[in-house]
A and B are shown apart, each in its own frame.
Chain A
Amino acid sequence: MTALGQAYFYVCATLALAGALGVVVAKNPIRGAMGLLLMILSIAGLFLALNAQFLAAIQLIVYAGAIVVLFLFVIMLLGPSAKTPSDNRGRVPRTIGAVVFAAVGLGAMGLLVRTAPKTPEGAKALVEVTNDFGSVDAFGRTLFTEGIVPFELSSALLMVAIIGAVAVARGRTKAEIALAKSPAEALRDVPVASPEGAPRTPGGITREAHQ
């Protein structure tokens, strides 16, 4: 790796770490989302350095373009000043989570250090990735020749997701509005809390009469 390449790596890696830290530390949710964006952009930069242009583009489109924007929408809907009530509940599970994540992270680092080739000869044992592996060109070729069958069939997956989104999110029809207002429907469908394992009170005609 050239000196310039190394400098590029360190810049991207530092920015990614700073972004990740920002997500964890920031009190303001907008800043947190921005930290996430910074991290995603830096990781995309790292992918570029690895010759994985396609992955870099997908990283930008899917994560930065769709997911972070979705986060921002939700934050805007709730209002940027929305805060979770700060209480001490869940401190124990949170601590356990932090410890487990730290253990996994440190373990992965340890494994990496242990298995990383120490000498230039050892490094050669690793398979050298050819220049066109992961490039947009190579990826497109694979997708449209070998992988054409799953590629075409995933259109059915997208289709069902679109119809499903329309079915769930579309405005209510007149009949549904009338249905929502009818007291019978309102009564029938309130799920009744019941102890674990106990049979749930059913809805239906008879129960409406009892109410």
Chain B
Amino acid sequence: MMALAFVLSPLLILALGALLLMLAEALTPKQNRAAGLALGATIVFVAGFAFSVGAWLYGVEDVAERELLAPWLVIDRFTIFFDGLFCLGGALAALLAGGYLREHGLERGEFYGLLIFSTIGGMMVAAAGDALMVFIGLETMSIGAYALTAFRRTSPRSAEGALKYFLLGSFAAAILLYGFALLYGATGHTDLVGIGNAIRAGGQHQTMILVALVLVLVGLVFKVSAVPFHMWAPDAYEGAPTPATTYMAAVVKCGAFAMLLRVLLTCFSDQGLMSWAAGWPPVLAWIAVLTMTVANLIAGQQESVKRMLAYSSIAHAGYLLVGVVATIHSMGTATASVLFYLLTYTVSTAGAFGALILCGRKGAEAVSYEDLAGIGRRHPAAALAFSLFLVSLAGIPPTAGFFGKWFIFRAAIDAGFYALTIIAFFNSVIAAYYYLRVLVFMYMREPAAGAPIATPMRSGYVATALVVSAILVIALGVVPSLPLDVAVEASEKTFAAPGG
């Protein structure tokens, strides 16, 4: 029983920590409220991360008590990897919130409760072995994200983004549920393994399974905000307070990809469905091409850096989908490339949003390109951090983003998708344009005469988050072998079955 508690500990630690934090907030005097909550939330996330590492080293394969959770929760290396990743993203978001919320007068303790419980939802999604658990986890994660988007209540833009996100997200969840209902009708199973086996065994309900596959794909692809289901993302990302945007871009997106990989590779890994001739890979490949191209073209036109980063996050979903499509050739390696990309993307994007937070202060949030003009001369440290994360997002060595893209492209080439790889490559060239444009503004432009000048805020929390992400970005770019080995082990021990 202890072993079971240990492999489940990241989730349990987060739940316990969130409850304690809320209790602590309720019991502290009003003027001190929310003061130490960011620190508390960060400690909870770091503890969750430490326990994920512990569970990884302990090994989950020999824990026989895992059967008690079956078929609802599957605790394997894949799950533990995502537990750690969520905790990392959550810790960075909590640190950024500690600086941002105080600076902008939004400091209320609910933010951290939402952050942690939403992360628990992500962990449930990653561990889900049953359609019911997928849905409960997805809703837990999404409802937290909806509320975080609406957190800045004085702002119509925040309300607009939250409402769009909420309505479209609910529709997508309903469509996903329809898909699962049809799968249950066709196979008689709600557990993912059972559905997968029933589909592999074949049967008379082929049409129904195809319709279900389409509905499930729509629901999944909506959650990863791929084109043409991306409409909500820019408004929600722009309206949300920036730490919430960080959280959505990092943790919620990773959760969505965990769900996508788990559902597709467990339920639809049948030879027929997982092939280029008929099934989901060509559909997903087209979606990947559309996502990368459309998002990159629109991102280049933005005047708001925050909105540009939102489109960039959509474009990254496109690159990741290329990796997902490559699973039809070698399930383990391609999945590992997706996991590694998610790790590099999490630290880079959290750092980029964090640097944007750092460049503004109370009543003067840096949002547009002009706001950043000349900041490289006036505040070199902030500009340097921002540049590092943008270079990583663009995929230029020696940063994390380079190896992330490298492994995805290699997986796609191994699978024989040359056209797809070339399109992805040209897209990363387009993307470099708008990332480097920020650098141009920071270092080569001066603010217009008479325009107010952005001054970076001072916050130990934000600085800590940036330093941690910067170290990780460089470390992943210089010595990617250890995290890559972890990603490979997480994928190959979980999806060992040869696909396609």
Q: Which residues of A contact B (CB under 8 A)?
A: 147, 149-150, 153-154, 156-157, 159-161, 163-168, 170, 172-173, 175-176, 178-180, 182, 184-185, 188-191, 197-209
Contact = CB atoms under 8 A, between A and B. Distances in A.
A160 B144 contact: yes
Given A156-B117, A204-B365, A204-B367, A191 B451 contact: no
Interface stretch (B212-220, B296-304, B477-485): B296-304
A190 B72 CA distance: 45
26 contacts: A153-B124, A153-B136, A156-B117, A157-B143, A160-B114, A163-B114, A164-B146, A167-B110, A170-B108, A173-B107, A175-B105, A176-B153, A176-B154, A188-B155, A189-B157, A198-B301, A200-B238, A200-B304, A200-B307, A202-B368, A203-B304, A204-B371, A205-B365, A205-B452, A206-B371, A206-B447
Contacts of A166: 110
A116 B147 CA distance: 47
Given A150-B132, A160-B143, A167-B151, A205 B366 contact: yes
Interface centre among B298, B302, B367, by most chain A C-beta atoms within 10 angstroms, is B367
Interface of B: 15, 18, 22, 69, 72-73, 104-108, 110-111, 113-114, 117-118, 120-121, 124, 130, 132-133, 136-137, 139-140, 143-144, 146-148, 150-151, 153-158, 160, 162, 238, 298, 301-307, 360, 363-368, 370-371, 447-448, 450-454
B371 A205 contact: yes
A161 B143 contact: yes
A199 B297 CA distance: 11
A160 B117 CA distance: 6
Interface centre among B136, B148, B238, B366, by most chain A C-beta atoms within 10 angstroms, is B136
Contacts of A150: 72, 130, 132-133, 136
Interface centre among A160, A172, A182, A204, by most chain B C-beta atoms within 10 angstroms, is A160
Contact of A189 (B158, B307, B450): B158
A189 to B, nearest CB: 4
B73 A209 contact: no
Given A161-B143, A209-B451, A167 B114 contact: yes
B153 to A, nearest CB: 7
Contacts of B15: 156
